[in-house]
């Protein structure tokens, strides 16, 4: 299958990519209709696609990726990121595509074929602020290091043990 882009689409692609780079560089959040847009509560472990899983528990960034995925991606790509009848597997996309390619598609959208379109998330500050986290979550799922369902955060487990009088 060959995907073609019109000059207008290429312009949108470039602007979307530049917008992501600007938001990531400045950590900017926006206000939409007077309401603060949520910002990621943490950054991924080291960079896009990096994650930590210990006994089924994840780092905060990967957990934030799970939350962002369930809010913004799950309706089309399914509860486990494995795809649906009209949207491909994001797990496979994260496994075979670079972060730059992945984030470009999220920001710009993609017309796979007439009638099968992934919308652009270039105007969705929440998604843009969590794009590295979503990518890390998808990488963890794709590698088989993280199972189905809502993961727990590693730090929460340590804090709970300390509150119960247990030592690390």
Q: Phi, psi (5° rounding) for residue 67?
A: -60, -45
What domains can you pick out in the chain, each with its CATH number?
A: 37-161 (1.10.760.10)
d(CA 107, CA 101): 10
Q: What is the pLDDT of residues 15-31, one digit of tens each?
A: 455 555 544 554 443 33
By residue count, the chain amounts to: 168
**N-terminal to C-terminal alpha carbon distance within the chain:** 53
More confident: 31 or 82 = 82
Beta strands in 3-151 (DSSP E): 31-32, 35-36, 53-54, 57-58, 110-113, 116-118
Q: What is the pLDDT of residues 86-127, one digit of tens each?
A: 788 888 888 899 999 999 999 999 887 777 788 999 999 999
């Amino acid at each position: 299958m060959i995907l073609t882009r019109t000059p207008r689409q290429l312009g949108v692609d470039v602007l979307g990519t530049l917008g992501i780079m600007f938001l990531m560089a400045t950590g900017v959040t926006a206000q939409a209709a007077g309401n603060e847009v949520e910002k990621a509560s943490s950054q991924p472990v080291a960079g896009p696609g990096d994650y930590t899983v210990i006994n089924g528990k994840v780092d905060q960034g990967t957990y934030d990726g799970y939350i962002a995925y369930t809010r913004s991606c799950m309706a089309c790509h399914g509860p486990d990121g494995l795809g649906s009848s009209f949207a491909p597997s994001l797990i496979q996309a994260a496994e075979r595509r670079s972060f730059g390619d992945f984030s470009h598609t999220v920001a710009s959208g993609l017309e796979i074929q007439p009638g099968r379109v992934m919308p652009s998330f270039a105007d969705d500050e929440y998604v843009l602020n969590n794009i590295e986290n979503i990518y890390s979550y998808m990488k963890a799922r794709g590698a088989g290091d993280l199972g189905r369902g809502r993961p727990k955060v590693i730090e929460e487990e340590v804090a709970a043990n300390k509150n119960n009088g247990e030592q690390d």
